[in-house]
Amino acid sequence: MAMLQFFIAVDVTVVNVALPSIGADFGVDGHALTWVVVGYTITGGGLLMLGGRLGDVLGRRRILLLGTTLFGAASLLAGLAPSFGVLVAARLLQGAGEAVALPAAMAVIVLMFPEGPRRSRALSVWAAVASCGLVLGFVVSGVITEMLGWRWIFLVSVPFILVVIAAAALLVPGERPAGSAPPDLRGSLLLVAAPLLFTLGVVEAGEADGTLPWLSPVALAGAVAAGVAFVRVERRSPGPLVPPRFFRSRPRVLANVATALLSAALSTSFLLFTYYLQDRSGAGPLQAGLTMLPLAVSLIAASVLVPRLLEGWGARTCVLAGVGFTALAMAAVALVSLLDAAGPALVPAMVLVAAGMGFGIVGLQYVAVSGVTEDDAGIASGVQRAADQLGGATGVTLYVGIGFAPVMDGITDPFVASGALAVAGLAAAGWVAWRIPAPLPAGSVSGAASASPEEAPR
């Protein structure tokens, strides 16, 4: 299970450094390359809760094998993709495989280890592996892209995924599927369709010489229609993805809105670092990956420090600090671009991003699962994870898609434009976070302890 978690976590960040090489091979610009990032996170975030329900209904071992096989096959397809469109399709399938496999893997760990020290140790390993995968993705991407080519960032995981499939088939015990209500398939598909159509509309709107001018407004209208239909389907479904009782907790709702807004800026920062280092400064993939090493180290340090500060500072203060650090990071990126400074000048911005992620996302996870019970712990964790991934994908679509749109060439620096859009979103995140009640309701400490460790910041 830890091996599966590691390679799924690596796939979240491993493409960032490789994007310029992918664009050069297929002849696409940074505007279109956002699909390689958001395609994975949208399908992963949108189908996450469906994956959890499928495990309950059809059996976790069966769904674990299905999701892992889908993820491995999609990785192979991405590595062998003959065109950019096939690569994007493979990334969509990878996200679907993640959404199906990870909830089942997490449930397997919880059920195999009894509550107490053994389960705590197992979950600690699970969380540590996730963090290492996310952090190492930046460096691994640079090394593999430089030495072997970008296709191997996907192909290298295939043999290990085969090991996971074989081990899971032999070692994970089967169980009788629960007699629960069927999963809300229509709601899940609409939750994926809305952000995908929105992304398509924004990307096409930014194409100055688009051959299908009608596609952008049609896609945006479809995104709105899918969003409205999702709300209606959820209200009428006997087994909705998000039960209405979830919205009765004001702190949780505010925490998830702030998570989406903060993740939008954090995900944007990763792409801005990559584009500046390779496209503007001319660094190779290996040099770019090594330059981003301070981000990885700072993120690990923040992950260790922040839990110790939560009790003394309070979750809201930590969240506001994280939002502030991230806003300073975006301003620093804009300044470096205006000065046309060398790539290493981005290191202070990287450290600020790590602090923003550590303080902001961890604090918001704490609030999002405050006061949960056994009946709604899974729902609270799943919604927070989905808000993180879908918020990040939407942010990349808007901030990078608009900032780097060809129609804006000559008007402003794209890094300044993207940074300004991200700061505006962070201002909204700060306003939402300020409205989170302080102190939190009783039981928040125990609730936070039950958060799913796979919700590592992305």
pLDDT digits (tens), the chain, 458 positions: 888 888 888 877 778 778 888 888 888 876 678 788 888 888 887 787 777 777 767 777 888 899 999 999 999 999 999 999 999 999 999 988 988 888 788 777 777 776 667 766 676 677 667 767 776 777 777 788 888 888 998 998 899 999 999 998 888 877 666 556 666 778 888 888 888 888 777 777 666 555 567 777 888 898 899 888 888 887 887 777 777 777 777 888 898 899 999 999 998 888 888 888 888 888 887 788 788 888 878 877 877 777 777 777 877 888 899 999 999 999 999 999 888 888 889 999 999 998 888 888 878 877 776 666 555 555 666 777 778 888 888 888 888 877 777 655 455 788 888 889 999 999 999 999 898 876 554 344 433 433 333 344 33
Q: Given this model, what pLDDT does residue 385 score?
A: 76
Intrachain domains 1-183 and 246-458 with the same fold: yes
CA dist., res. 124 & res. 140, Å (int): 23
Q: Given this model, what pLDDT does residue 348 score?
A: 92
User: Residues 68, 71, 72, 77: what is their CA dihedral angle, to the nearest 10 degrees?
Assistant: 160
Q: Given this model, what pLDDT does residue 128 score?
A: 65
| Residue appearing with tokens 């509550």 | 115
* Domain range summary for the chain, segments of one domain joined by +: 1-183, 184-238, 246-458
| Residue appearing with tokens 């650090």 | 325
In this structure, which topology does domain 1-183 adopt according to CATH?
Growth Hormone; Chain: A; (1.20.1250)
CA dist., res. 149 & res. 221, Å (int): 39
Q: Given this model, what pLDDT does residue 118 score?
A: 73
Q: Which structure tokens are listed for 431?
A: 């306003």
CA dist., res. 311 & res. 58, Å (int): 40
| C-beta neighbour count of 420 within 10 angstroms | 17
> What superfamily would CATH give domain 246-458?
MFS general substrate transporter like domains (1.20.1250.20)
